Amino acid sequence: MAEELAKTLADAMSALPKELIIFLVSMLPLIELRGGLILAPILDIPMLKAIPICLAGNILPIPFILWFITPIFAWLKKTRLFRPIVEKLESKSMGKSEKIQKYEFWGLVLFVGIPLPGTGAWTGALIASLLNIKLKKAFPAILLGLLLATVIMCTITYFIPWAVKNLF
């Protein structure tokens, strides 16, 4: 499913340079770095070139989420139109926050780093913000989590296909 979504996005952005496509895909919520690193080998982008591009794309929105999401949510909750949406987002995010609350730094690292549906840097930053985890603690944890996710995703998208092709 993720590969199918990545291909659809690549087709929609086919006029753009390949590197810009994986950068933009890595910026998208829910898809993030995982999607960029799935798409990169499909677009024949070498791993060592794809890693910094996808990391940069995924990291770029994180400080803004950590700094601004709480006041934006507070403002949106004052409106009848957006209150239910914001409350649902907060509730869904906080439902995933138990491990982060318990282990804080390392919980956030693992939450961001283990590439499962509903996890990642965007949700991790949102939860950190809602839990009032300080930026100087949250941002390094998210970065470390992204590095873990990078290792996992590169193993899945680059190393395993290479191993299957060359070793078996």
Is the pLDDT confidence value at 103 over 90?
A: no
User: What predicted TM-score, i.e. pTM, was given to this entire model?
Assistant: 0.87
When pLDDT is averaged across residues 36-49 and rounded to a whole number, the result is 97
Label residue 6 by pLDDT band (50, 70, 90).
low
Is the pLDDT confidence value at 105 over 70?
A: yes
| Every domain of the chain and the residues it spans | 2-59, 63-147
When pLDDT is averaged across residues 154-165 and rounded to a whole number, the result is 95
Is the pLDDT confidence value at 149 over 90?
A: yes
- Measured between alpha carbons, how far is 139 from 120 in angstroms, rounded to an integer? 13
Over its C-alpha atoms, the chain yields an Rg (Å, rounded) of 17
- Measured between alpha carbons, how far is 30 from 46 in angstroms, rounded to an integer? 23
Please state the three-class secondary structure of 143-166 as a single string.
HHHHHHHHHHHHHHHHHHHHHHHH
Tokens of 9: 């996005």
Is the pLDDT confidence value at 2 over 60?
A: no
DSSP string computed for 39-95: HHHHTT--HHHHHHHHHHHHHTTHHHHHHHHHHHHHHHTTSTTTHHHHHHHHHHHHT
pLDDT at 11: 78
When pLDDT is averaged across residues 111-140 and rounded to a whole number, the result is 93
pLDDT at 144: 98
More confident residue, 10 or 45: 45
pLDDT at 96: 78
